[in-house]
Amino acid sequence: MKNSILSVCLLMLMVANSMGQNLKAKIKIDIERRIGTVDKLLYGNFTEHLGRCIYGGIYEPASPEANADGFRKDVLTATQNLGVSVVRWPGGNFVSGYHWEDGIGPKANRPKRKDLAWGDIESNEVGTDEFMKFAKAAGVEPYFCVNMGTGSLDEARNWVEYCNAKPGLYYSDLRAKNGHPEPYRVKYWGLGNEMDGEWQIGHKNAEDYSKYALEAAKMMKWSDDSIKLIASGSSNYVRDWAEWDRTVLNSLHDYIDYISLHHYSGNQSHDHNKFMAVTLPVENAIRITEGIINEVRSKYKMKKPIYIAFDEYNVWYRAWNDQKLEEHYNMQDALVVALYLNVFVRNAHIVKMANMAQLVNVIAPMMITNGKLWMQPIYYPLQLFAQNCKGQSLQTLVQCDRYDAGDYKQVPYLDVTSVFNDASQEIIVNVVNRHESKAIETTLTNQVGKLASKALVSEVNSSGLVDENNEKEQKVKTTSKEMNLTGDTFSYVFSAHSFTQIRIKVKI
Ligand code: AHR
């Protein structure tokens, strides 16, 4: 009897302990251990002719929010506030059936076409000249993707001429006739979208894509040798997926500046711990692709670098079969977006562009319902990164507890990056606490230079893991506070299921 009472007491004590006690961790920051420069293009986005992204998203001439060109001012302002650097356009799967000449000249003459990727009718009301107006008003760099599905080599090359050549050639004169004598100087050009996927219009095998894209690349660069080209890399992580990248890199290495990767994740099994580990294979895919880039660069004794453009990423699973892709995001999804961004920052030496898919309404950080724009939970981590996380990515020592979840082994509860901004002499620490219910009491130590006496702490969180926002209420958002520091070691308790960004000035 005595023994059983004792074991019940012990059990109760263990349960109470496991519920109440914070976990502990250590983070060490060293501004001399530099990984690479965080490119501002890591904070890019993507707009596709799909559902309500272009029409009813960025462009809605009938809305009271529309400016003189038909673009929604609230979307333009929210894009600027988000800190978006580059926007990929016009697709996505859509681009593989898109003929850009349908979208220029008088609107009344533009053809209506059925888009075979998403089943919508494309009015071609927004084409090249309109998108450039949007990019200018939003203050973003345009990144065009050419049609490598049904498009011709001439079409690809002519589009570069239309956008970038001085007047005096057929297509640049056409641009001038359409009201734009000055070249647009579009710098970033994608050689097709997800050409490795059988779902793609005009899908090809690696050899056929590589041959075709090589000829397009040559002609596009001969039209304007200042452009940067992005080859269509892996999006389809089936067996031997990396062979696609190897073939593409072997063929296109002389012409391309980036190879793309795409990844979407979901919480289909409603398992928090597994969901918080979905970016582990993403980091692995980056390392594998980096290895192949190195292999090819060494084989051809190349001096020119080739980087990774992670030009589509996000959470997307609830609205997978819904043609409009109007995903409603929650707190967990915001954490996954912060995890993706940490992966890109941690690999800043090789990942030089990343584009959240997409900008508005369609798997997006902003949503319009009943004519009103509001911010989804995933808006906030991207905003904190895009506005503040600039400079040199640093190797960061992290000691914390780990967990296993299905195939994911030894996942650290804390996912951390740190960055040193030379210009503002500031350290930025980005921390995701993956733990569903426990705060993590952490000792942070700065190893070089003296920390200022104050830090700015911003946290994205909400009391409920599946809390969402809507047009009336922003349950998930950023809250910021100042924190006093004394010395180069300090303690901070990272709340359960949170993303925290700490910014501190440092004197060297
Ligand atoms: O972003 C939605 C779709 O996802 C894109 O059109 C395609 O490239 C990807 O499969």
All domains of the chain, ordered by start, with CATH? Answer: 22-36+394-507 (2.60.40.1180), 39-390 (3.20.20.80)
* 44 touches ligand 1 (CB under 6 Å): no
Q: Are 298 and 433 in contact (CB under 8 A)?
A: no
Which whole-number Å values give the CA distances from 62 to 30, 69, 482, in the listed order? 53, 11, 44
Q: Is the pLDDT of residue 375 over 50?
A: yes
* 358 touches ligand 1 (CB under 6 Å): yes
Residue 274 parent element (H or E): helix 272-275
Q: What is the pLDDT of residue 18?
A: 46
Residues whose CB is less than 8 angstroms from the CB of residue 504 and which lie 6 or more positions away in sequence, other chains included:
426, 427, 429, 446, 451, 452, 454, 455, 456, 485
**pLDDT tens digits along 447-494:** 999 999 999 999 999 999 999 999 999 999 999 999 999 999 999 999
**pLDDT tens digits along 51-63:** 999 999 999 999 9
At 378, list the tokens.
Answer: 């995933």
Peptide bond into 90 cis (omega under 30): yes
Closest CA to 350 of 31, 29, 42: 42
Q: Is the pLDDT of residue 433 over 50?
A: yes
Residue ID of nearest Cα to ligand 1 atom 4:
92
**pLDDT tens digits along 384-421:** 999 999 999 999 999 999 999 999 999 999 999 999 99
Q: Is the pLDDT of residue 1 over 70?
A: no
pTM: 0.95
* 45 touches ligand 1 (CB under 6 Å): no
Closest CA to 361 of 348, 353, 370, 352: 370
Q: What is the pLDDT of residue 279?
A: 98
Q: Are 459 and 478 in contact (CB under 8 A)?
A: yes
Q: What is the pLDDT of residue 3?
A: 54
* 193 touches ligand 1 (CB under 6 Å): yes
Mean pLDDT taken over the chain: 96
Q: Is the pLDDT of residue 22 over 90?
A: no
At which residue do the structure tokens 């001429």 appear?
161
**pLDDT tens digits along 300-322:** 999 999 999 999 999 999 999 88
The band of 9, judged by pLDDT with boundaries at 50, 70 and 90, is very low
Residue 54 phi/psi, 5° resolution? -80, -65
Residues whose CB is less than 8 angstroms from the CB of residue 298 and which lie 6 or more positions away in sequence, other chains included:
none
Residue ID of nearest Cα to ligand 1 atom 3:
92
Closest CA to 55 of 88, 106, 92, 90: 90
* 312 touches ligand 1 (CB under 6 Å): yes
Mean pLDDT value across residues 496-508: 97
Q: What is the pLDDT of residue 323?
A: 86
Q: Is the pLDDT of residue 329 over 50?
A: yes
Q: Which of 15-19, 106-110, 155-159, 296-300 has the lowest mean pLDDT?
A: 15-19
User: What is the distance between the alpha carbons of residues 196 and 199, in angstroms, rounded to a whole number?
Assistant: 9
User: What is the distance between the alpha carbons of residues 492 and 178, in angstroms, rounded to a whole number?
Assistant: 58
Closest CA to 448 of 28, 144, 129: 28
Amino acid at 369: T
Residues whose CB is less than 8 angstroms from the CB of residue 284 and which lie 6 or more positions away in sequence, other chains included:
none
Q: What is the pLDDT of residue 376?
A: 98
Q: How far, in Å, is the centroid of ligand 1 from the Cα of 235?
A: 9
Q: Which residues carry out catalysis?
A: 194, 312
**Partners of 412 in the beta sheet?**
402
Q: What is the pLDDT of residue 31?
A: 98
Residues whose CB is less than 8 angstroms from the CB of residue 402 and which lie 6 or more positions away in sequence, other chains included:
410, 411, 412, 413
For a pocket test of ligand 1, which of 196, 264, 315 has the largest count of ligand atoms closer than 8 A to its C-beta?
264
At 480, list the tokens.
Answer: 């910021």
Mean pLDDT value across residues 244-248: 98
For residue 199, which atom of ligand 1 is closest to its CA? 10
Residue ID of nearest Cα to ligand 1 atom 6:
92
Q: What is the pLDDT of residue 20?
A: 55
Q: Is the pLDDT of residue 438 over 50?
A: yes
